[in-house]
Amino acid sequence: MAENKTYSISVRLRRTTYEETFVSVPVTDALRQNTPDAQGRYFLDGAKVMEAAVGLGTGPDTNWRPEGTPVVEPHPVQTAPNDDPGDSGKIH
């Protein structure tokens, strides 16, 4: 009896999981714009607020929650599978 051969190709994928959280950024003088407007008023600098928020988000006590479902896509760099038997990227 003839044996039917099948062939396969390995494709490297990556899965990205997005998470969300909220942080409370204390309003301080360090967050304001460096120069006042024409009326002498200072406003918050959005870039400084976001930088402070990201810094707070990196703390160990930040409570992250999954947002949506993971995104699976072809990896932009295709490489050969790892021959390590403990590799989680086993060929299926």
pLDDT digits (tens, 9 = 90+) for 41-85: 999 999 999 999 999 999 999 999 999 999 999 999 999 888 765
Question: DSSP assignment, residue 2?
Answer: P
User: Across the chain, where does the E strand assignment appear?
Assistant: 13-16, 19-20, 65-66, 71-74
How far is the CA of 59 from the CAs of 9, 19, 53, 55, in angstroms? Answer: 42, 15, 10, 7
DSSP characters for 75-87?
-SS--PPP--TT-
Task: Please give the pLDDT value at position 58.
Answer: 96
User: For 3-16, what is the mean pLDDT?
Assistant: 93
Task: Please give the pLDDT value at position 3.
Answer: 84
Task: Please give the pLDDT value at position 84.
Answer: 62
Q: What is the pTM of this model?
A: 0.65
